[in-house]
A and B are shown apart, each in its own frame.
Chain A
Amino acid sequence: QQQVKQSPQSLIVQKGGISIINCAYENTAFDYFPWYQQFPGKGPALLIAIRPDVSEKKEGRFTISFNKSAKQFSLHIMDSQPGDSATYFCAASKRAGGSYIPTFGRGTSLIVHP
């Protein structure tokens, strides 16, 4: 059972366009929602994150939109650049055994054409 569903699996946009990646979760115990960016040959790195008491968070060109009632959240990359080409993972975290453990979506491979 996939607890965090991510779409699309792959995405191609032109430079300057908007990239949108969507995620949905089922378990209402999740209360922290980070996004990770992974370049080839590297480990994932935290990009931006949101708590469920906030509907939107913006950091530079990256925005998370969060819909608690629909149990959905999305990442918007404005003015997409070739350097944004990477795999993006959404995650949903809940506390277990004293630690917050993220459950990841399956990832979206983003290619931004120059």
Chain B
Amino acid sequence: KAGVTQTPRYLIKTRGQQVTLSCSPISGHRSVSWYQQTPGQGLQFLFEYFSETQRNKGNFPGRFSGRQFSNSRSEMNVSTLELGDSALYLCASSPDPGVAGNTIYFGEGSWLTVV
């Protein structure tokens, strides 16, 4: 099976712009979650989608949004970019998120630099 695929891998944006990141989960996985990774804060949960519905949302401002399509592919959007949004954005998918032993599979991430 192919792993979690994220595009683009690297991008540079200017403050005030908006960005859209894409994620293709592992085939058959209906849960997709997004994380922001920075050296200072580590891995922070953004949101989780299951069958096109947002089930959980982390403590991020409304500039961060996401959606999931009927084929389980997901996108996240950050509007009005700030310098502090520079980070590695990781997408993860899982087959059975309601089970404690469920394994979360991460993609390699999208590196966003805001200048």
Question: Which positions in A face B, CB cutoff 8 Å?
Answer: 31-32, 36, 41-46, 49, 51, 89, 93, 95-107
Q: With A43-B4, A44-B106, A51-B100 in contact, do A96 and B45 touch (Cβ < 8 Å)?
A: no
Residues of B within 8 A of A (CB): 4, 31, 33, 35, 41-45, 48, 50, 55-56, 90, 92, 97-109
The 12 sampled A-B contact pairs (Cβ below 8 Å) are: A32-B100, A36-B106, A43-B109, A44-B43, A46-B103, A95-B100, A96-B56, A98-B98, A99-B98, A102-B104, A106-B42, A107-B43
Are A97's CB and B42's CB within 8 A? no
- Residues of chain A within 8 A of B43, CB atoms compared: 44, 89, 104, 107
Query: Apart from A44-B90, A96-B55, A99-B50, what are 5 other A-B pairs with CB-CB below 8 Å?
Result: A42-B108, A89-B43, A95-B98, A96-B56, A97-B56
Distance between B18 CB and nearest chain A CB, rounded to angstroms: 24
Contact check, A103 vs B103: say whether CB atoms are below 8 A apart: no
B108 partner residues in chain A, CB cutoff 8 A: 41-43
Q: Which of A41, A43, A45 gathers the greatest number of chain B CB atoms within 10 Å?
A: A43
* Interchain CB contact under 8 A, A100 and B97: yes
Query: What residues on A are CB-neighbors of B55 within 8 Å?
Result: 96-99
Q: Which 7 A-B pairs have the closest CB atoms?
A: A43-B106, A99-B97, A106-B42, A97-B55, A104-B43, A32-B100, A97-B56
A7 to chain B, nearest CB (A): 13
A103 in contact with B97 given A43-B4, A98-B50 (CB within 8 Å): no
Q: A103 touches which one: B45, B105, B109 (CB < 8 A)?
A: B45
The docked-state distance in angstroms from the alpha carbon of A107 to that of B106 is 16
Find the B residue at minimum CB distance from A31: B100
A46 to B104, CA, bound (A): 7
Which B residues lie within 8 Å of A41 (CB)? 108
Would you give the shortest CB distance from B28 to chain A, in whole angstroms?
A: 16
Q: Closest residue of chain B to A93, judged by CB?
A: B100
CB-nearest residue of chain B to A45: B106
